[in-house]
Structure 1
Amino acid sequence: MKKTNRRTLAQNPFLGAILAVVACHASHAKADDRDHRRPDHDDRAVARHVLLISFDGLHEQDVARCVASNACPNIALLAKDGVTYTNAHTPGLSDSFPGLAALVTGGSPKTTGLFYDVSYDRTLYAPSDANCSGAQGWNVVFDETTGIDGQNGGALTHLDGGGAFNPQAIPHAKVDGVCKPVYPHDYVKTNTVFEVVKASVPQARTAWADKHAWGYDWLNGPSGAGVDDLMRTEINAIDPKTNSNYTDIYTHTEVFDDLHVQALVNQIDGKSSTGDASPGVPTLFGANFQTLSVAQKATVATNGGYLDASFTPGPQVSAAIAYVDASLGRIVSELKQRGLYRSTSIIVTAKHGQSPTDHSKLVKNGDTVAALLQANNYLDPKGNYGQNATKTGNLNDGSGLADTGFVQSDDVSLIWLRDQHQLAQVVKSLKDNLSCNAPGICADGPYAYLLYGPRIAAAFGDPKQGRTPDIIVQPNPGVIYTSSASKDEEHGGNAPDDGHLGLIVYAPGMKHAGRTVDERVLTTQVAPTMLRLLGVNARRLHSVEIEGTQALPGFDGERF
């Protein structure tokens, strides 16, 4: 088994970011050689169903620790029947949008155009600009406010987000001279596995459940019709039993995630996600789970997160891992009861990890990147840009300003400049203030970097085309660009804890069950793997074709 030199990648963070997007794909050029070298899967055994489960926040270290300590028996059993990839990583950015896009398109933000659920596009017009006659450049927000409950800043009172799109959240684009609305499925630039399966497998059905009822419409892909059963569940909806949303504490998030467990059980039983009909078991289906992520973000003072740099889980994380393991057990048990386990491939992974797991590295200085840009007049000095510029004070109500530039910061900072001609000046200002001392941006360590110019274009696309940020600031690991007192971990960037994920693949007909693969892989490789398991040509995925994404080792033969 060939091993990746992890030390080299760790010592050069820029190499790590670029290799995660470009070089890893290039290294898979000799797919047939690897197929003969590692015949882990019988290509003749094509699965009838593929189930993808994303336990957000699930690090590789979480899997290794809980399996070794018998704390996750169901995950351990799946690993025993499948293959565990110990060196799996997100493609450069780890927010939920690019994290999930990697899994279902086979592509990085360079081809999908998804950088964050809150981002910016220089080519778009405001939701209120139905003629596309005003200024271009819009802060695109596809989150809980994308449902109609969020219209005019309304309360999020319905679990389904209100049952429709919030028109104030939908920007416009001029397409062939015609001004058209841009829904989330229009915003993603490449097709999804759901679309490919529906087009390639006779009578195929597809299904998915996620955390935002309407923001995740992009899973439908550009056709707008990729997912037959897209469960509309909104995690930030107000639970009438508690008068709070489902993210206030991990035990409340379990209530939300239980809806997704039941949806999968219903679908395994041949029903719809709500249990109302009997359309048959989906060909490709899955769900996202948030309990572990919420427990990881919780503060140390409330027993959240981890106890040390070795990923020893604190009380909340320990309980959350037990919950996700039990949830997996319920799902697999239902497959076995229905006689479907030997015809269903199962992939367990995550959209993203969480950082920092070592809380001794935690730094919360607030959004010092935005503050520095405002102080130097690169963005509005009073913060009047993006969602901060709404005339009403309500987020995502369409009343914001266009052409303002934008900054999105969590444990990374994505910068879309108001004036792209100021790139060199902005970079100089950032480099002059790399330390953690005010007004510094805390990016002066060996794992920190600024990505801009030709290097960002190579990794993520040319910013001049409108979607790619002009600058990405990856701060020192442990830095969270917030002053929030409610969380001690975040994700979104390329810190080590963000992108190193758990990944287990079980497939019918596996020749070497229980195997561990330590070769570096990307989560983009999950998408072509799912298609190969269904006997579908993975190159029908646009991102796979453009980026040269290969299936995971052991599933990368050329026989389909």
Structure 2
Amino acid sequence: MKPITKWKRKQSAMCAAVALLAGLYSAVATAGDDHGHGRDHDRDRASVKHVLLISFDGLHEQDVARCIGANTCPNLALLAKSGTTYTNAHTPGLSDSFPGLAALVTGGSPKSAGLFYDVSYDRTLYAPSDTNCTGPTGWNVVFDETTGIDGENGGALIHLDGGGAFNPQAIPHALVNGVCTPVYPHNYLKTNTVFEVIKGNVNGARTAWADKHAWGYDWLNGPSGMGVDDLSRTEINSIDPDTNTYYLDTYTHTEKFDNYHVQSLIHEIDGKDSTGRKNVAVPTVFGANFQTLSVAQKATVASGGGYLDASFTPGPQVAGAIAYIDDALGRIVSELKQRNLYSSTAIIVTAKHGQSPTDHSKLVKNGDTLTKLLEANNYLDSGGNFGQAATKSGNLNDGTGLVGTGFVQTDDVGLIWLRDQSQVASVVKTLKDNLSCNAPGICADGPQAYILSGPQLANRFGDPSRGRTPDIIVQPNPGVIYTSSTSKDEEHGGNAPDDSHLGLVMYVPHAHHAGQVNDERVLTTQVAPTILRLLELKPELLHSVAIEGTRPLPEFDRED
């Protein structure tokens, strides 16, 4: 698909060329899809009618290099041989799934897109129960598995589609032009998405996506609420009725969940909707998220999860997960070829985030020492009455949450929203006085650790006074996870090297740079403007691209 005006101009030029060449290349010009080699770069882009974006969460660059070198991911290797491998791709500062995916589809970091974590905080919002916006503000925004109606009143997540509707207890309110208005996830995103831009600028465009939370990922629709025509409603935290267990319990069970996404993509390639029930156009841009690798990486090393050494040698579970995702990729590409779409579809394989630490010897799990330190010094409620746990009933996320409590989000990073922003300097001093890994320290005493606040934080992530950005961000030493959990040895969310350095392989039909390896430092935010450039749209149509000056990936960073 192409923008209407550009397509008309190109159509006239093509007709003239066909006549001049007396039909020699008429088949190429007419089909424009499955023939032709040695085209210049502009014609490479002109051959792209569809873009498929795949996120294998947890996929490090080192995983890509190792599996291609060992021939354990033959399908990814074939894609790399036909495309470009970016060996120095990174997330834009934070690596939770929300900012990780927002980078790929908005072209922006949390500073412009406004997404820091799926569970975060916003000082300007009113509680879900405050439908008149007359009470205090400051809400712990929870857009995860509980965003579906199954999560209402703390209910069991028994449906794959999350119950088929939003949970009203998860939807906060905001005053918009004086009107108290619900804030659904798509309202929460601050900038538009590639889905919205393509639907608005490509004649007959259709869009589709599948992700891990059925309703929390509504934000992919963008502020219009209508960016994704076919948003597959799949909830990974739901209970599999066949086993009465969660899809997340083992990586092999997660494969079953990810297979739903493979089947959705195959249906879409076949000219159907994600359920396979309706005949529709093949999407102009579509894709899916896969969780199997991430689950295998998090599993404890003692149980066969994670990696065996600092060289990213995969343990049994990770090796099995890489074999699975490669097979999934092979099935998808095979279907594109069977439907004669491979030579008109650009394919981008990357990840929202990596996982840390891959070197098990660096793992530190002292518990959530950061939150304990904040509580002990009365910067947050000493009894834990803040965030998700701060409810009148004592039940998690049941609609009785307290307002204005502040919040702290920890995994292998610490995001701190203080209940009293005037205490920032005091909190930073307390944190710096307790940097060691000894109690009550926060284990941020190494050269790769840092504490962001004030202008330094505002320049990078936005001004906290506007309500959305954390007051303080703590990046602990690589390998530190603020947990005492015995069920996982790796996490993500922060900016440790293993979180941020991702695999990125891009195939473009008939590209003259097939098999290229690019070692320039790039950000995953550059994927979104590249998608638009491939479809002959201006990258600046994305608000985040215009705000942050995001450039397309190097091979595509020039005008027609």
**Could you tell me the TM-score, scaled by structure 2's length?**
0.92
Q: For the Cα contact (< 8 Å) 1:190–1:221, is it kept in 2?
A: yes
- Aligned mates of 2:147, 2:311 — CA distance in 1: 39
The match for 1:207 is 208
Report how far residue 392 of structure 1 moved.
2.5
Q: For the Cα contact (< 8 Å) 2:300–2:487, is it kept in 1?
A: yes
Output the amino acid matched with 2:558: G
The match for 2:97 is 96
The match for 1:394 is 395
- Aligned mates of 1:257, 1:176 — CA distance in 2: 42
Q: For the Cα contact (< 8 Å) 1:41–1:509, is it kept in 2?
A: no
**SS of residue paired to 1:554:** helix
Whether 1:156 and 2:163 are equivalent positions in the alignment is no
The match for 2:485 is 484
Output the amino acid matched with 1:312: T
Give a deviation string over 1:102-124, Cα, whole Å, max 9, x none.
Answer: 00000000000000000000000
The match for 1:139 is 140
Q: For the Cα contact (< 8 Å) 1:95–1:493, is it kept in 2?
A: yes
Output the amino acid matched with 1:355: S
- Aligned mates of 1:151, 1:486 — CA distance in 2: 27
**SS of residue paired to 1:372:** helix
Q: For the Cα contact (< 8 Å) 2:443–2:476, is it kept in 1?
A: yes
Output the amino acid matched with 1:66: C
The residue correspondences of 1:20-59 to structure 2 (distance < 5 A) are: 42=43, 45-59=46-60
Whether 1:557 and 2:555 are equivalent positions in the alignment is no
The match for 1:127 is 128
Report how far residue 556 of structure 1 moved.
1.2
The match for 2:439 is 438
Report how far residue 280 of structure 1 moved.
1.5
The residue correspondences of 1:266-305 to structure 2 (distance < 5 A) are: 266-305=267-306
The match for 1:105 is 106
Whether 1:503 and 2:528 are equivalent positions in the alignment is no
Output the amino acid matched with 1:155: A
**SS of residue paired to 1:233:** coil
**SS of residue paired to 1:87:** strand
- Aligned mates of 1:346, 1:241 — CA distance in 2: 33
Report how far residue 394 of structure 1 moved.
2.8
The residue correspondences of 1:50-89 to structure 2 (distance < 5 A) are: 50-89=51-90
- Aligned mates of 1:172, 1:396 — CA distance in 2: 16
The match for 1:461 is 462
**Could you tell me the TM-score, scaled by structure 1's length?**
0.92
The match for 1:10 is none
- Aligned mates of 2:398, 2:545 — CA distance in 1: 36
Report how far residue 42 of structure 1 moved.
4.2
Q: For the Cα contact (< 8 Å) 2:389–2:397, is it kept in 1?
A: no
Q: For the Cα contact (< 8 Å) 2:213–2:235, is it kept in 1?
A: yes
- Aligned mates of 1:261, 1:92 — CA distance in 2: 30
- Aligned mates of 2:77, 2:203 — CA distance in 1: 34
- Aligned mates of 1:243, 1:260 — CA distance in 2: 21
Give a deviation string over 1:55-114, Cα, whole Å, max 9, x none.
Answer: 000000000000000000000000000000000000000000000000000000000000
The residue correspondences of 1:359-374 to structure 2 (distance < 5 A) are: 359-374=360-375
Give a deviation string over 1:479-527, Cα, whole Å, max 9, x none.
Answer: 0001111000000000000000000110113112000000000000000
The match for 1:172 is 173
The match for 2:234 is 233
**SS of residue paired to 1:225:** coil
Report how far residue 388 of structure 1 moved.
1.1
The match for 2:31 is none
**Measured at CA, do residues 44 and 156 of structure 1 come closer, stay the same or move farther in structure 2, by a change above 3 Å?**
closer
The match for 2:517 is 516
Q: For the Cα contact (< 8 Å) 1:81–1:506, is it kept in 2?
A: yes
The match for 1:529 is 530
Report how far residue 172 of structure 1 moved.
0.4
- Aligned mates of 2:207, 2:391 — CA distance in 1: 38
Task: Give the gaps of 5 or more residues in structure 2.
Answer: 1-39
Moved over 6 A (4+): none
Report how far residue 474 of structure 1 moved.
0.2
- Aligned mates of 1:171, 1:49 — CA distance in 2: 36
Output the amino acid matched with 2:423: Q
Report how far residue 535 of structure 1 moved.
1.1
The match for 1:186 is 187
**SS of residue paired to 2:151:** helix
**SS of residue paired to 2:556:** coil
- Aligned mates of 2:104, 2:298 — CA distance in 1: 23
- Aligned mates of 2:436, 2:153 — CA distance in 1: 41
- Aligned mates of 2:245, 2:467 — CA distance in 1: 37
The match for 1:19 is none
**SS of residue paired to 1:443:** coil
Identity across aligned pairs (percent)? 78
Q: For the Cα contact (< 8 Å) 1:125–1:134, is it kept in 2?
A: yes
Task: Give the gaps of 5 or more residues in structure 1.
Answer: 1-38
Q: For the Cα contact (< 8 Å) 2:44–2:509, is it kept in 1?
A: no
Q: For the Cα contact (< 8 Å) 1:387–1:396, is it kept in 2?
A: yes
Q: For the Cα contact (< 8 Å) 1:457–1:463, is it kept in 2?
A: yes
**SS of residue paired to 2:246:** coil
Output the amino acid matched with 1:290: Q
- Aligned mates of 1:203, 1:521 — CA distance in 2: 32
- Aligned mates of 1:395, 1:212 — CA distance in 2: 18
